[in-house]
Amino acid sequence: MSEFVEYLKEVFEQFGDVHARKMFGGYGIYHDGVMFGLVADDILYLKADTNTAEYFKSRNLGQFEYDKGGKMVKMSYYLAPEEIFDNAEEATLWAKRAYEAAFRAKGASQK
């Protein structure tokens, strides 16, 4: 596990227990069994949906994308704001937004 991924446990300590699972060359970041974050190349992206994407877009935080057979595919994860790494309250706020978006998506996929 990368040092950055281990460090995220400290970043989100106030939010609650988080753990990582290796996936697709990166890591999924989970809380209570729900993936709310994604780490690729030691960069953290947080889950968003129609309720929360504007928080990221208004700050010009880019959307996670990857190359799939020559075509760029965007996922519903956005670059985490820098201040979460220095401010536990901001980390908790953004983690809650991402967790709630992931929880809503998980519920919708189970219907």
Structural domain boundaries of the chain? 3-109
Q: What is the pTM of this model?
A: 0.92
Tens digits of residue pLDDT in 35-92:
999 999 999 999 999 999 999 999 999 999 999 999 999 999 999 999 999 999 999 9
Please determine, for residue 108, whether its predicted confidence score (pLDDT) is greater than 50: yes
Which of 97, 84, 94 minimizes the C-alpha distance to 51? 97
Q: Which fold has domain 3-109?
A: Yope Regulator; Chain: A, (3.30.1460)
Please determine, for residue 111, whether its predicted confidence score (pLDDT) is greater than 50: no
How far is it, in rounded angstroms, from Cα 44 to Cα 64?
A: 9
pLDDT of residue 11: 98
